Amino acid sequence: MARSLCAGAWLRKPHYLQCDKYKTGVIDGPACNSLCVTETLYFGKCLSNKPSNQMYLGVWDNLPGVVKCQMEQALHLDFGTELEPRKEIVLFDKPTRGTTVQKFKEMVYSLFKAKLGDQGNLSELVNLILTVADGDRDGQVSLGEAKSAWALLQLNEFLLMVILQDKEHTPKLMGFCGDLYVMESVEYTSLYGISLPWVMELFIPSGFRRSMDQLFTPSWPRKAKIAIGLLEFVEDVFHGPYGNFLMCDTSAKNLGYNEKYDLKMVDMRKIVPETNLKELIKDR
């Protein structure tokens, strides 16, 4: 057991579980070899204070990224935590050995129908998922790759990254191993100034802190460009190609931008399919 950088309790670091499963052939994915064999996927600064969601700045083959892994079961509809439950005791149990590609496609189709509703183009999305799941690009989806893909598809953020992979405001998926995934990092993650360690905040006078924020805050024309990007992203998710998604948390901490002041989403875990959310709350 090792002390997690992101948790206040003793937990297994996320990659321990992934590598155990990878080395025994249970899971596979494009990030597994770098994570578990060559060790060229590095964990850096911790970005989360919740044990249920491990999130780190990382470097993969000299490219910066963000590493995410959901570690524990979380409650539905608690917008202070997460919207997708994970039960580790049954993690990577599907699909089972002997499942054909056609059967796996039917499983994914049924999952999408439950999450997204009866959209007419779900088969197209299923084929897109199989392309993403084929991490080694050999034209076939192995059982390990299918288990990784199935675990990841339970997470709204991963599904949204796949659906919006060609949209400029969505971080790109770099790779995955099991339900640990690596996404493109966002260069600037503070919309209203500069982020400082909390220890430094204690010793900086409030007046000087406001001056620092004004100095590092984007100018109004650049703020306008970021705002337009947010409107474009809302259009992408609310009138998406595979149904509507709703933003359950619109706080600024989920938004960032790049050097061209194009909006980039930092965290999309609380953007959920409208059909799925309605189903969850209908009896409450």
* Phi/psi at 20 (5° precision): -60, -45
pLDDT of residue 36: 94
C-alpha neighbours within 13 Å on the C-beta side of residue 140: 4
Residues contacting 197, CB < 8 A, separation 6+: none
Ramachandran region, residue 57 (left: φ > 0; alpha: ψ -120 to 50; beta: rest): beta
Q: Is the pLDDT of residue 74 over 80?
A: no
Domain ranges of the chain: 2-184, 198-281
Over residues 119-172, the pLDDT tens digits come to: 889 999 999 999 999 999 999 999 999 999 999 999 999 999 999 999 999 999
Q: Is the pLDDT of residue 255 over 80?
A: yes
